[in-house]
Amino acid sequence: MENKKYANMLIMPELDSAEKRLFPFDILSVLRKEAPVRYDRTRNCWDVFAYGDVHRVLKDSRTFSSVRGAAAGQNLLFMDPPKHTQLRDLVNKAFTPKAIQELAPRIQSIAEQLLDQVTGEEMDIVSDFATPLPVIVISELLGAPKEDRAHFKRWSDILVESAEDVSDEAFQKITEKRMGAMQELTLYFKSILELRAKQPQDDLISALLKAEINGEKLTERDLIGFCILLLAAGNETTTNLITNGVRIVTEQPSIHSELNLSPETIPSFIEEVLRYYPPIVAIGRIATENTEIGSQTVQAGDQIIIWVGAANWDESKFTDPDKFDLHRKPNPHLSFGFGIHFCLGAPLARLEGKIALQALLDRYNEIKLQTDQPLIPIPSSFVFGVKNYPITFVQ
């Protein structure tokens, strides 16, 4: 069993309370200014905060490897070239922006159906809307039966959870939980793959079974790893993008009014939500050789955590980074990563985000946060979002 402590499974000491994790950006900005690259002994890793350094680490995939604690199994995210290139080219064949764009009418109708089920003048954005939407989209895309969606949600939650604290017991507990979910998922996808191999359908799993490059097909292991990755990488991130977008319109009502007047600004709104409240705030790498980052010397084998949540608020790259600017252009945020591992699901996430926010704004006015219950941040140091976002609205 994997028992090495990987820093991206542990909470950074500066973000050790719920309150801090509900809004970590000021803390991250202070860290960036005081020590743009620093070693944290409690987590045994380097933290990199400045835009230029974060960008460079993402870009230089030879010096900064992605092969690390495969907590979510053997998949693209944890591979280096040449295996990564080969696998990514294969899955790209089935996961094209065109194939994604064709999903728009279906995503729209799922969004409308979810909102139709809301009665009264209040709802919890997370559980009523932002969670089911991507889970339904991914399970339909993969071709998984409808009755399995609740399992999908449970599995994807476990795959992105962090340890409760830095103790060995907490780490052991989360590792065991993840291994359990991985085993269940592997068996689950194995059975679906067998069914589709016998009887192909019009779904992603059938397309992946067919995809080949130079006569090479995906192995069963890679196929299962990829399906699991889609759940782990695509669900909670998209839930958080939608919820973080609603959070902005409630925190800054002038943005809501502007969106109502100019709905064509929704795509640029989504980009700015991605920059300002990134669903993934930190990404891990391992140094493959001794190298310098900023003024620090990193040794081969060191763990490096790069902070997208700090880079996106770096004033050397963005004018007035703490201002939510609906018209920010260009907006070179790093929220989908950069380079060879750039998010494969970015077109899908952007499309879902756009349709979801448009559907909400079309229906509701005066969206307000209900302030009588505390917001609970997601217990992870690399995901930014809340578990609940109760709102009231006027239809």
Strand segments (E) across 134-223 = 212-213, 216-217
Q: In angstroms, rounded to a whole number, what is the distance separating the alpha carbons of residues 116 and 112? A: 6
Among 50, 174, 281, 349, binds ligand HEM (CB under 6 A): 349
| x-or-dash string of contact with ligand HEM, 8-47, rule CB under 6 A | ----------------------------------------
Q: Are 10 and 41 in contact (CB under 8 A)?
A: no
Among 90, 218, 246, 348, binds ligand HEM (CB under 6 A): 348
Pick from 283, 287, 357, 361: which binds ligand HEM (CB under 6 A)? 283
Q: Which residue is nearest to ligand HEM (CB)?
A: 345
Rule CB under 6 A: is residue 229 a binding residue for ligand HEM? yes
Q: What is the DSSP string of 231-270?
A: HHHHHHHHHHHHHHHHHHHHH-HHHHHHHHH-GGGHHHHH
Q: How many C-beta atoms surround the C-beta of residue 212 within 10 A?
A: 11
Contact residues for 334 (Cβ-Cβ < 8 A; gap 6+):
51, 54, 55, 58, 278, 308, 311, 312
Report in angstroms how near the CB of residue 337 gets to ligand HEM at its nearest.
3
First CA to last CA distance, the chain: 52
Q: Which position among 207, 233, 249, 281 is part of the footprint of ligand HEM (CB under 6 A)?
A: 233
What's the CA gap between 222 and 320, in Å, rounded? 43
In the complex with ligand HEM, the residue whose CB is nearer, 38 or 68, is 68
Number of residues located near ligand HEM, criterion CB under 6 A: 24
Smallest separation, CB 385 to ligand HEM (Å): 10
**Shortest distance, CB of residue 261 to ligand HEM, whole angstroms?**
26
Taking CB under 6 A as the rule, does residue 273 contact ligand HEM? no
Pair 228, 182: CB distance under 8 Å:
yes
Q: Does the footprint of ligand HEM cover residue 341 (CB under 6 A)?
A: yes
Residue in the block written with tokens 């699901």: 345
> Could you give the CA distance from residue 230 to residue 351 in angstroms, rounded to a whole number?
16
* Ordered DSSP codes for 52-96: HHHHHHHH-TTTEE-----TT-SSGGG--TTHHHHHHHHHHHHS-
Contacts of 86 (CB under 8 A, 6+ apart): 213, 216
The verdict on 356 binding ligand HEM (CB under 6 A) reads no
> Which part of the chain contacts ligand HEM (CB under 6 A), choosing from 48-56, 150-158, 196-204, 225-233?
225-233
Contact status, residue 128 vs residue 346, Cβ threshold 8 Å: no
> Of 90 and 229, which CB lies nearer to ligand HEM in the complex structure?
229
User: Where does this chain touch ligand HEM (CB under 6 A) — which range of 1-9, 20-28, 187-195, 338-346?
Assistant: 338-346
Regarding 333 and contact with ligand HEM (CB under 6 A), the answer is: no
Instruction: Kindly write out the interface string for residues 63-92 of this chain, putting x where it contacts ligand HEM by CB under 6 A and - elsewhere.
Output: ---x---------xx----------x----
**CB of residue 395 to ligand HEM, shortest distance in Å:** 28
Distance CA 152, CA 168 (A): 28
| 238 belongs to the binding site for ligand HEM (CB under 6 A) | yes
Among 45, 107, 305, 343, binds ligand HEM (CB under 6 A): 343
Q: What is the nearest approach in angstroms of ligand HEM to the Cβ of residue 137?
A: 8
Give the list of residues 6+ apart from residue 210 with CB closer than 8 angstroms, or none. 200
Residues that bind ligand HEM (CB under 6 A): 66, 76-77, 88, 138, 229-230, 233-234, 237-238, 241, 279-280, 283, 335-337, 341, 343-345, 348-349
